[in-house]
Amino acid sequence: MRDLTLTLVQARQAWEDKEANLRRYDTLLAGLGPTDLILLPEMFHTGFSSAADRLADPWPEGPGLAWLRGTAARTGAAVYTSMMARADGHARNRGVFVEPDGTVHVYDKRKTFGLTGEDRIFTAGDRETIVAFRGWRIQLQICYDLRFPEIVRNRLEPDGTPAYDLLLYVANWPARRALHWRTLLPARAIENQCWVAAVNRVGEDGNGLAYAGDSVTIDALGQAGWCAEHEEVVVTRTLSRAALEQTRAALPFLKDALDSRAPRAAR
């Protein structure tokens, strides 16, 4: 068992400007100390735009993945974020987890945001992605997925261990619905007996929407360490593996919740 050190990059994104965003992240990450994993906001180098026809990177070419691979190699840390990508003729809001050795894991956002028409532009994914990294099993998620607990319900594997230990969210979550963000994230940690780490952007986008940030790490008991609202910050924290295992041992709720026995019929 080992701890995992994680860095939240709560950034102010430039609207639909890939070069400006990549320069900003380079500046924010300059002088970064040792860390295992870096989280960047959703659609990290464009902001949450609908202009997939001109902004989606061809997969796996394009500046987004190249920058992520270079950053992971340079820092010795994995990087997780999402980006517009075009693959197999479809535009995707694609979660990308890049390991320091260049290995790439992909998660396509499963719940596209109908309120803004994301569902008409981006093809939704149809499967989960759990990454094994440095002794941790990590479930990848993107923004709107947070509203759908059924797609991340933790479960016990045949050997009796939970399917994952850490749930990641990268987001462009508007400030006017910040209460939902601050409510649902602790719920996901408690009900799945896992660590949760989530990063959101700050500033205002090209549609005039404001973002508060509220990036956070939350333990399996729901105890949260929120980042400052509306501030561009880079925060590094360590997630305790021992604390996670102690919580699961003392409160074996997953076993009870995931008991597959059929309910008895009423008599």
Supply angle C-alpha 101, 131, 92, rounded to 5.
90
* 264 band by pLDDT with thresholds 50, 70 and 90: very low
- Check pLDDT > 80 for residue 205: yes
Q: Which of 18, 42, 99, 194 is catalytic?
A: 42
Helices (H), the chain: 18-29, 52-55, 63-75, 118-121, 178-192, 241-250, 253-257
Count Cβ atoms below 10 Å from residue 52 Cβ, excluding itself: 18
Q: 132-158 pLDDT, tens per residue?
A: 999 999 999 999 999 999 999 999 999
Residue 14: the pLDDT is 98
Percent of the chain with pLDDT over 90: 93
Residue 107: the pLDDT is 98
The pTM of this model reads 0.95
Q: Which of 18, 99, 118, 143 is catalytic?
A: 143
Q: 57-69 pLDDT, tens per residue?
A: 999 999 999 999 9
CA distance 196 to 189: 6
Residue 257: the pLDDT is 79
* 114 band by pLDDT with thresholds 50, 70 and 90: confident
Residue 266: the pLDDT is 42
Answer left, alpha or beta for residue 179, where phi above 0 means left and psi between -120 and 50 means alpha.
alpha
Residue 267: the pLDDT is 37
Which residues contact residue 167 at a Cβ distance below 8 angstroms, ignoring those fewer than 6 apart?
A: 138, 139, 141, 152, 188, 189, 192, 194, 195, 196, 197
Q: Which residues pair with 12 in a beta bridge?
A: 202
- Check pLDDT > 80 for residue 229: yes
Picking from 58, 68, 54, the residue whose alpha carbon sits closest to that of residue 21 is 68
The structure tokens listed for 230 are 């509306």
Spatial contact of 151 and 110, defined as CB atoms under 8 Å apart: yes
Q: Which of 109, 111, 194, 227 is catalytic?
A: 109
Per the annotation, the verdict on 109 as an active-site residue is: yes
Per the annotation, the verdict on 143 as an active-site residue is: yes
